[in-house]
Chain A
Amino acid sequence: DTAVSQTPKYLVTQMGNDKSIKCEQNLGHDTMYWYKQDSKKFLKIMFSYNNKELIINETVPNRFSPKSPDKAHLNLHINSLELGDSAVYFCASRLRDYQGETQYFGPGTRLLVL
């Protein structure tokens, strides 16, 4: 009965590879997000998707591309991985109404680029 799930939990890969991280939410929420948390715990938003429409792309390199096959899924594809991409990536979701101001986070995907 996990609300927001991500796979994989850990991802170790070589520089230059292409990888994907999957996210699914079973809360019926309208909006999903991807965040990057660096080694200093700073959490920065990368993308926001509402009903399969990209709303926010906060100066993220175009090597990162979100893909939303349906409202419950928002996957993150990363091309040509670089050392600086090493971080923890969190998916989150929110119900898009006045009461839905809180976000529900997945457990995170720890990406290490060697």
Chain B
Amino acid sequence: SQQGEEDPQALSIQEGENATMNCSYKTSINNLQWYRQNSGRGLVHLILIRSNEREKHSGRLRVTLDTSKKSSSLLITASRAADTASYFCATPYSGAGSYQLTFGKGTKLSVIP
């Protein structure tokens, strides 16, 4: 079942601006992950934030996690045309000996040169 829900569905910004995407989820998690999908490609893992972390940085990426609100945000600073892609949040689910990720529907980011 779908767990994460990204917002907005689409975002268009000028190169150099910051882009913020949000993700809301429903159940308790021990980590939340963000993935990027360029057009016509597979998903690429960007960053993982654990439930005991509030903020995490990786290069131009900043991820926050608010477990009380069951939400996360992904900030891309100083965006570039190459950042144009769809961004998905994913939350893990473990049950019956399995481990799987549940993905949201994604935010489509367009960075205009």
Contact = CB atoms under 8 A, between A and B. Distances in A.
Interface of A: 4, 31, 33, 40-43, 45, 48, 50, 55-56, 90, 92, 94, 96, 101-108
Given A33-B100, A92-B42, A108-B40, 11 more contacts: A42-B103, A45-B100, A50-B98, A55-B96, A55-B97, A101-B31, A101-B99, A102-B45, A103-B101, A105-B35, A108-B41
Contacts, number: 55
Interface range for B: 20 to 34
Contact of A103 (B45, B97, B98): B45
A45 to B, nearest CB: 5
A102 B100 contact: no
Interface of B: 2, 31, 33, 35, 37, 40-45, 48, 86, 88, 92, 96-103, 105-106, 108
Contacts of B108: 41
A1 B86 CA distance: 25
A56 B96 CA distance: 9
